[in-house]
Amino acid sequence: MASLLRPLVWFALLLAAAPAAAILPTADPSPEPTATASPTPIATDTEQGADDRIARRLSGIFAALPAFEKVRVTVREGVVTLAGPVPVEDDIARAEAIAGRIAGVVTVENDLERDVSIDGAAAVGGIAAKVAGFAKMLPLIGLALAIWLGIALLGYLIAGLGRIWHRLAPNSFLAELIASAIRFVFVVGGLAIALDIVGATALLGAVLGGAGLVGVALGFAMRDTIENYVASLMLSLRQPFRANDHVVIDDSEGRVIRLTSRATVLMTLDGNHLRIPNSNVFKATILNYTRNPKRRFDFMLGIDADDDPDAARKLGRETLASLDFVLAEPPPEARTEEVGDSNIVLKFLGWIDQGEADWYKASSRAIAAVKSALEHGGFALPEPIHRLRFDERTPLPFEQVSSTREPDRDASDAISPPPAARRAPKAPATDVAHAEDVRPNAEIAEMVDDERRKSGEGQENDLLDSSKPVE
């Protein structure tokens, strides 16, 4: 009986074990991906007293650093917790970096805050430390300042050698420019050396950078002033005119008194001072009457349309050639300029020497002489002709006059001009030509010379140099 029960028991045990085996998970040949391991594996067990050792070590380090004297350190299972105030913001990350370097530290919980109280270390202790450091550097700062002043003084002494720079430079304006550049170089160079002595070269870079930005801003704001300064430099080198030259600068005419570092001073032909900015002079069209003593004048006269223009031109040329102030070379000229409805316009040209004859006087006398010669030569100088048309129902003026007079008088007498209105006899052409002296007037030139003699300061500031060639 027992032998029969034993197989049944084993069969029952197998049936009971089958469902449990069916619900068990099967092994997966490909395991699930795991998280990336940390660079330093965390130990599963800790050494007895490791937390106390880490806390003592960090407390000792922070006690040696004044910035972390108020930091509180707590360590549990290798996790370091930092709390408390620090003077500056950078000390928060610095404390965390120090704690992370201690062996056995798993991670750092950083609860540090910046101390913003009035009695904090940053507000009081920092200022006190800076004052103390500045007091210690006073001897070094004094030495650097003395070196800077010595270099700057040397630059001023070298720049003060005016005779050398005036001899090397083309004019006084450039000599002053060279002296100013020497002073600037020595002052800035001495400042750089002084800052390097006290270890503040970074401050020099900041100052120069700021000065560059300020210079750019001032350059835009003072564009006209800088342009005028550069124009003065160029005019002093080019020398476009001399003192007392008769010039026309755009629409301004006069004689040159002086060229300064800011403006060109003229005396107008009516005796007034005129200052023109050098930037305008540099860009202007300059007409100089003094550079060439020979100057041409021209004028136009009209003759009757029935007259011979060739004969009139020949007579005009001969008349101009007979005038003593008209140059023989180049010879006088006459041209037919225009043929109108009732006249022929002739243009006469002649040359004078401005040192011997005034241009305005000469042209006026020449016009009078040629006009008189043409009239005595039988050439009519026609007046403007106007043609009037009257209504047939309106009586003519001479008819109205004749109706009021006696019947036996001729109507032509009523329209004839009275004897007083007739032209006087013309003077001979030779009398007209020599009726007035044509020598040049020297009033304005003498005024300019007196102005230059009286203004001694103006002479020193005058950039015109008679020894330099005119451009």
- 67 DSSP 8-state letter: G
Give kind and range of the element (H or E) at residue 20: helix 2-23
Here the tokens at position 214 are 């300020």
Helix (H, G, I), strand (E, B) or coil at 405: coil
- pLDDT for position 366: 94
Instruction: Please enumerate in sequence order all residues whose Cβ is within 8 A of that of 375, keeping only pairs 6 or more positions apart, or say none.
Output: 381, 426
Distance CA 311, CA 393 (A): 47
> Are the beta carbons of 365 and 433 closer than 8 angstroms?
yes
The model's pTM: 0.55
pLDDT at 413: 45
- Is residue 159 a contact partner of residue 180, using CB atoms and an 8 Å limit? yes
- Single-letter amino acid, residue 271: G
The pLDDT, as a whole number, for residue 212 is 73
- Give Cβ neighbours of residue 321 (< 8 Å, ≥ 6 apart): 328, 331, 332
Q: Write out the chain's pLDDT in tens, 471 residues.
A: 445 445 544 555 454 444 444 434 444 444 444 444 455 666 666 677 788 888 888 888 988 888 888 888 888 888 889 998 888 888 889 988 998 888 888 898 988 888 776 655 455 556 777 777 778 888 888 888 999 999 999 988 988 887 787 777 766 777 777 888 898 889 888 888 888 888 777 777 776 777 677 777 766 676 778 888 888 888 888 889 999 999 999 999 999 999 988 899 999 999 899 999 999 999 999 999 998 999 999 999 999 988 999 999 999 999 999 999 999 999 999 999 998 878 899 999 999 999 899 999 999 999 999 999 999 999 988 776 666 676 666 665 655 555 555 554 444 444 444 443 334 445 454 454 455 778 888 888 889 988 888 865 445 578 887 777 676
At 41, list the tokens.
Answer: 């594996």
Rounded to an integer, what distance in angstroms lies between the CA atom of residue 369 and that of residue 315?
Answer: 11
Residue 58 to residue 211: CA distance in whole angstroms? 48
Angstrom distance (rounded) from CA 381 to CA 384: 10
Q: What is the three-class DSSP state of 347?
A: strand
Query: Which residues have a Cβ under 8 Å from the Cβ of 252 and sit 6 or more positions away?
Result: 266, 268, 274, 276
User: Taking a C-beta distance cutoff of 8 angstroms, is the pair 105, 97 a contact?
Assistant: no
**What local confidence, expressed as pLDDT, does residue 40 receive?**
61
For 132, 147, 338, 439, the CA distances from 140, given in Å and listed in that order, are 14, 11, 91, 78
